[in-house]
Amino acid sequence: MIVSTNKASYPDTLIVITGPDNGRSKFVEKDKVTRVEDADGNLIGYNFFNVSDFLDYDKLPNGQVHPNQELVDKLNKKVSEAGFDEKLELGKPTLVYGYVETCEPHPDSDHLHVTTVEVADGEEHQIVCGAPNIAQGQKVVVALPGTLMPNGQQIWPGELRGVDSYGMICSARELGLAHAPQKRGIMVVPDSFKVGDEFEPTKCDELLASGQISL
């Protein structure tokens, strides 16, 4: 679930995205809440208007909002009052440390690789990666579906050259780190980092600056 504001373009509005937009969205508006659905009628998000009526809007950041249970409960109350049936749920972190268990050449590309990445205890995902330095055995930062990247890119399941990909293995630049090198490549974190833990930008940037994290 991606929660965000755009205070310049859409004041007093909170945007919640629960799935990818395939370009044929439909909208149902009730009582200052708009349900956004795809062409098949599946929920892909909500837009909440006049949110200062029930939230301290001025304290919300401009951009991504990291929700807590209190915020989710308030949004679900508005969803219910508007007459919609779904409930939003507070999910696990989507930007986490992962371990590259396998790394094989893509069958239809001379530069892509198909990886299997452990992202939590017993949870593995297939991710297609184009970084030149990707390799088996690395600890990396993984953006799982439902991640909003610093540049505004949304991460959802997809495919690259006909191979399914469930997330993205990130570079320091994609993560918006101040000391990110300019050359291409995913960021490799120390082996001591625990698989499944949430990405810590300040810690990683300090390690980059000191040379303890490499491409």
How many Å from the N-terminal Cα to the C-terminal Cα in the chain?
Answer: 29
> Percent of the chain beyond pLDDT 90?
78
Q: Give the burial class of 160: count Cβ atoms within 10 A of its Cβ; 0-12 exposed, 13-18 middle, 19 or more buried.
A: middle
Percent of the chain with pLDDT over 70: 100
State the pLDDT at residue 182. 83
| Whole-prediction pTM | 0.84
The structural domains of the chain, with segments of one domain joined by +, span 2-81, 95-209
pLDDT of residue 45: 94
What's the average model confidence in pLDDT over 148-177? 92
Q: What digits encode the pLDDT tens for the residues 12-70?
A: 999 999 998 877 789 999 999 999 998 888 899 999 999 999 999 999 999 999 999 99
215: pLDDT strictly greater than 80? no
Which CATH number is 95-209 given? 2.40.50.140
2-81, what's its fold? Nucleic acid-binding protein fold (3.30.1940)
> On the CB side of 107, how many CA atoms lie within 13 Å of its CA?
3
Residues in the chain: 215
Mean pLDDT value across the chain: 93
